[in-house]
Amino acid sequence: MKIRIATRKSALALWQANHVAAMLRDLPEVDAAELVPLSTRGDEILDRSLQKIGGKGLFIKELEVAMQAGDAEIAVHSMKDVPAEMPEGFCIAAVLERANHADALISPNGAQLGDLPQGARVGSSSLRRQAQLKMLRPDLHIEPLRGNVNTRLSKLENGDYDAIILAAAGLERLELERHISQVFVPTEMLPAAAQGVVGIECLAENEALRTTLGKLNHATTVQTTLAERAIARKLGASCQSPVATFAVVEGGELRVSALVALPDGSESIRDSVAGDPQDAERIGEELALRLLESGARRLLDTAGSMHG
């Protein structure tokens, strides 16, 4: 079996695709695994926010077109970029073991969040991060930040911001963790659904390929990913939504926390549930319903009208 891997061209996307390729080559039924690097609209349009141009799905659409056209068998994604509702005909056939789930603060001289000056400019285009930063430091000015990891680091070094927020996993994968000033714990900042997880997408109808890819699944990560994505799906959350969620399996129990907030941090709802890891998807849906009963829909609608 020869497997061609559709991937974005950023350094992080190529790292992820090469990582999957190496794992595939270790499987006896895989004769070859090669990369098919593609450019996506999400990578090309950097002067507007993702909310304005169609959301994170823009990072994966071209990869799905390549699979449909027969130019690639699979696509590799950061699962936090994959919409909670999969397009018809596609599936996530495997998720790899989760790397660092956390968000990280990067600032000159290693300054932590509490050290930043009053009214500091912090770069982030994520409403989820913005809301939680404003909850911690209402005085901060959150300013848009697009581009790949190295582009974002360059903007910080050029003095465009006093600090920026990035996913710790991406920095660690690119061996750039030396730039991290502070790693946020879940009580400070909950991550995006499935942050730190690499997923493998393929055509749903290709059962032989799905079986092969399934060998790369990490069981615990499957459970936490199912729970977190169920919350995002039930809430109708997208990259436009200040929704955060984090699941962990400890002592044979799945514990899931989630947050819905206004982008300015002025209002938020946070809740958590626990249960059998085998019921991961149901537990996530249960938590989403609890959030909705507590008024999450109003916050999401308000956030949508503010940033639609």
Q: Give the catalytic positions in this structure.
A: 81
Q: At what angle do helices 280-293 and 296-307 cross, to 10 degrees?
A: 80
Strand, helix or coil for residue 85: coil
In the block, residue with structure tokens 């098919």: 36
Distance (Å) of CA 6 to CA 122, 195, 265: 33, 20, 38
Bridge partner list, 268: 261
Question: By the 8 A CB rule, do 231 and 203 touch?
Answer: no
Other Cβ atoms less than 10 A from the Cβ of 77: the count is 25
Give me 182's structure tokens: 């502070």
In the block, residue with structure tokens 């994520």: 126
Give me 64's structure tokens: 């799905």
Question: How many Å apart are CA 195 and CA 211, to the nearest integer?
Answer: 25
Question: How many Å apart are CA 303 and CA 3, to the nearest integer?
Answer: 41
Q: Residue type at 105?
A: L
Give me 184's structure tokens: 């946020």
Strand, helix or coil for residue 37: strand
Whose CA is closest to 255, among 279, 219, 291?
A: 279
